[in-house]
Amino acid sequence: MSNIQNKVILVTGSSKGIGREVAILLAKNGAKIIVNHSNSQKEADETVNEIQKNGGEAIAIKADVSDRDQVKQLFDKSIASFGRIDVLVNNAGTMISKKLKDCTQQDFSKQFNVNVKGVFNTLQEADSKLADNGIIINFSSSTTKLMLPTYAIYSATKAAVEQMTRVYAKEIGRGISVNAIAPGATETELFMNGKSEEQIAKLSAMNAFNRLAKPIDIAKVVLFLANDDSKWISGQVIGANGALV
C-alpha cells in the first residue's frame, strides 16, 4: 500500500474523540495535519503537541464549520500554512439523543447546522480549494440504518450527509474521490455521555465482536480512505461497525 507521506490533511472537529485519533494516526503515517476545532483550544493544542511529540507536523485552527465565513478562513489559513490541502476529513459533528417529540427547535437547528450545513460549507470550499486528485471523507453514522429510538434527528442529518456524498462525488471532478464512513457505536465522550451500563452492554452485544468500537478502529478505516490506493472507491458509504448492520 502506498503511503500518505507529506499529504496535507484537514480534519474538522479533531481536538477530541474520533477526530483526534484520526489526526494522530494520519500524522504518524507522514501526513501534515490541520487540527480544526470550534471551541476546544486546550484539547486542540494537546492534539497538536501529541503529533509533534511523535515527530509529525500539525497546526490548530479554530473555526465553526456551520459558519460559512469561518470555513472560508479555515481553508485559506490551512493553504497559507501548508501550501495546499490534499485530503478533507469532515468529522465535526454533534449529537442530541431525545425522542422526536421532545426535541426542541434549538436541538433540531444545532444538529442540522453542524452536521449538515457544516459539511455543505466545507464541500463548497473544497470545490475550488482542494488539490487536484484529492480525497474527501465525510462522516455519517450507522444509526441511519438502525432506526434506534431517540436518534431521529441525528440520523436524519447523517442521511443527508450520505446523499450529499453520493451526488457530490459525481459533481466535483478534478480526480477527487468522495466517500463517507459510517461508524457504529464507538467509545467516545460524545457517545458515552448519559448512557447507563445496561445501554452500553446492549449496544456492545449488537455487533459481531461484542464490544464498542475504539476510536482507533475508525481511524484505521479513514487512513485507508485517505490513501491513493482507495481512489477507485468513490460515492460510497463505508460501514465501519463490526457487522452491526
Q: Which of 66, 97, 141, 177 is catalytic?
A: 141
Average pLDDT along the chain: 96
154 is catalytic: yes
Distance CA 57, CA 52 (A): 6
Q: Distance between CA atoms of 96 and 154, rounded to whole angstroms?
A: 7
- Residue 47: phi, psi to the nearest 5? -65, -45
**From the candidates 7, 16, 32, 158, which is the catalytic residue?**
158
Closest CA to 62 of 79, 43, 80, 49: 43
- Residue 92 in grid coordinates: 465535526
Identify the structural domains of the chain with CATH numbers, from first to last: 8-238 (3.40.50.720)
What is the model's pTM?
Answer: 0.97
**Of all residues in the chain, what percent carry a pLDDT higher than 90?**
93
pLDDT at residue 19 in the model: 98
Residue of 140, 142, 177, 230 marked catalytic? 140
**Mean pLDDT of the 170-183 span:** 98
Q: Which residues contact 71 (CB under 8 A, 6 or more apart)?
A: 63, 65, 118, 121, 122, 124, 125
Per-residue pLDDT tens digits for 8-67: 999 999 999 999 999 999 999 999 999 999 999 999 999 999 999 999 999 999 999 999
**Which residues have CB under 8 Å from 94's CB, separation 6+?**
110, 111, 114, 115, 190
Residue 177 corresponds to which cell in the numbers above?
A: 474521490
Distances (CA, A) of 52 to 23, 31, 161, 218, 225: 12, 12, 32, 22, 23
Q: Is 151 a catalytic residue?
A: no
What are the helix and strand counts (H, E) for the chain?
10, 7
> What average pLDDT does this structure show over 95-107?
96
Report the pLDDT value the prediction gives residue 189, as an integer from 0 to 100: 83
Whether 2 is catalytic is no
72 belongs to the catalytic site: no
> Which position among 32, 78, 154, 168 bears the catalytic label?
154
7: which 3 cell numbers?
499529504
83: burial class by Cβ within 10 Å (0-12, 13-18, 19+)? Answer: exposed
